[in-house]
Amino acid sequence: MNNLSKVGRLAKGVTSRPLGVRLTPDEVAEVEAYAEKLDRSRAWFLRFLILRGLADFKRELASNLTH
């Protein structure tokens, strides 16, 4: 049974409410390739990117406020 999807748990406090994201076919392929390389789901990888981007954005905002 090779085609069973992986079942995982949501991180504590994470909602299961989906958000729509529009990507080009090339972007989707890139996301899927990285997710597969990390042996993670596409949703996990997108969440990882969003959290990483939010952290960078917050750092940038903080640095702009101090200058």
Asked whether residue 58 is domain-assigned, the answer is yes
Asked whether residue 7 is domain-assigned, the answer is no
Determine if the pTM surpasses 0.75: no
Confidence tier at 65 by pLDDT (50, 70, 90): confident
Which conformational region is residue 37 in: left (phi greater than 0), alpha (psi within -120 to 50 degrees), or beta?
alpha
Torsion sign over Cα 35, 37, 40, 41: positive
Number of domains in the chain: 1
**Structural domain span for residue 34:** 25-65
Confidence tier at 1 by pLDDT (50, 70, 90): very low
Model pLDDT for residues 9-30, shown as the tens digit of each residue: 666 777 677 888 899 999 999 9
Asked whether residue 20 is domain-assigned, the answer is no
Confidence tier at 64 by pLDDT (50, 70, 90): confident
Integer-rounded Cα Rg, in Å, for the chain is 15
